Amino acid sequence: MNHGTSTFSSQRLALILLVTLIVFISASVALASSSSPMAQPELSSAETIDSVTCSEGIVNGGFEDRTAWKLTATQYTASYVSDPEPVRSGDWSMRTGIVDPADNRYSYSSVIQAVKIPTGTEYINLKFWIYPQTGEDESIPLYLPRNPLGIEEEDAANVSDWQFVFILNAYGQELERLLYRRQDADEWQYHSFDLSHHKNQGTIQIYFDTFNNGVSKITSMHIDDVSMDICDGPPPPELNGTISGTIVLQGRTDHSNAEVCADDGGAPVCTQSDATGAYSMDVTAGSYEVTVTKERYLDAEKLNVPVIAGSTTTLVPVTLLGGDTNDDCDVNILDLALVGGRFSLSCGDSGWDERADINDDCTVNILDLSLVGGNFGKSCPVPWS
């Protein structure tokens, strides 16, 4: 008889029995723990999930009563309006600007609400809907002076109409330009802006305005369903996702104010790029067509962009090609003639035309001419992989 083999087999059998016993005891303990409340371990402080408290910062965001908003007294004051003027929800909206050509005149038309930002605020998100309309030519480049809130009437003829949304501090000084445009959308558009970088201001003012120069056509902007989430922590999860990316404006170092819109077949959601070209906007989950537009540049378009709730869809950077001076979606002999006809002119010169200044450096020179020449024969939309 081989005693060594017998001993080894006995040891292996004992080891197997021991392991089986340990597994049985562990399973019994786990079962008892799951059936007994007293056996549940407490979460450590590091594992405790703190709740985020959010409050609504805007009062009367639907304009259903006459509270909270300040209507600045101007030559054509903003007004609460109802049907037949555009109303998105409820019975009322706010109209800025002029809707009757017979009333055309030089005027600002603004509405403001001051919002207190509590100490400890970490997240601020402003949301609103606008309905922009204009009879002016949208292809004429928008000229916005350094102080858009202070155009004198005698200078108004040199400045085009525009619609804009600013953030002001408690003293009425400009903190940020969220939107400025001249657009005839004839539909409601949703906008969302993260204002968390203003959390230490104490008080900020939401400023909606439409400027009419009193010359030619009229411009207006209706506003409805304004809301502001003010939270003491990161934003709570929602059924929304985010679309983000970067835009390059060919020939420029400042890539701001390109308009990005996401459309799922309903009301489009729009935002604008910052100086670096970056943009981000919150949308409901779904599939979108994303377009990018900028005056004097060929548009870009990307179809079937998926957005998943709680996730960010980051699109590849897209370069808008310069040279479309008349914004007809083609760079052709008309654009070349316009730039060539204003060659060597600078801002303020007789015959100056902003449309010829492709790179927006206040001079029409070889840089602008090369953008038109380099993109000659190209059309919208530009390639966007």
Q: List, for residues 230-255, the tens digit of each pLDDT value.
A: 999 876 666 678 999 999 999 999 99
How far apart are alpha carbons 348 and 363 in whole angstroms? 10
Q: Residues 261, 268: contact at Cβ < 8 Å?
A: yes
Token pair for 229: 């989430």
Q: List, for residues 21-43, the tens digit of each pLDDT value.
A: 333 333 333 333 333 333 333 33
Domain contains 63: yes
Q: Look up the domain containing 166 and give its range.
A: 54-231
- Mean pLDDT of the chain, nearest integer: 83
Q: What mean pLDDT is predicted for residues 49-60?
A: 83
Closest CA to 70 of 92, 106, 94: 94
Q: Give the model's pLDDT for residue 50.
A: 55
| Pair (176, 316) in one structural domain | no
Domain contains 19: no
| Pair (71, 202) in one structural domain | yes
Give the strand pairing for 312-314 and 240-249. Answer: parallel
| Pair (279, 226) in one structural domain | no
* C-alpha torsion angle, residues 229, 233, 234, 236 (rounded to 10): -60
From 231, 252, 283, give the residue that closes a domain.
231
Q: What is the number of domains present in the chain?
A: 2
Looking at residue 109, which CATH number applies to its domain? 2.60.120.260
Q: What residues does 69 pair with on adjacent strands?
A: none
Q: List, for residues 70-83, the tens digit of each pLDDT value.
A: 999 988 999 999 99
From 231, 266, 281, give the residue that closes a domain.
231
Domain contains 30: no
Domain contains 41: no
How far apart are alpha carbons 249 and 320 in whole angstroms? 5
How far apart are alpha carbons 286 and 268 in whole angstroms? 13
Q: Residues 175, 169: contact at Cβ < 8 Å?
A: yes
- Other Cβ atoms less than 10 A from the Cβ of 61: the count is 20
Long-range contacts of 354-362 (CB under 8 A, 24+ apart): 354/141, 354/143, 355/140, 355/141, 355/295, 355/296, 355/325, 355/326, 356/325, 358/251, 358/296, 358/322, 358/323, 358/325, 359/251, 359/252, 359/322, 360/252, 360/254
Closest CA to 272 of 166, 118, 135: 166
Q: List, for residues 258-268, the tens digit of each pLDDT value.
A: 999 999 877 78
Q: What is the pTM of this model?
A: 0.57
Domain contains 294: yes
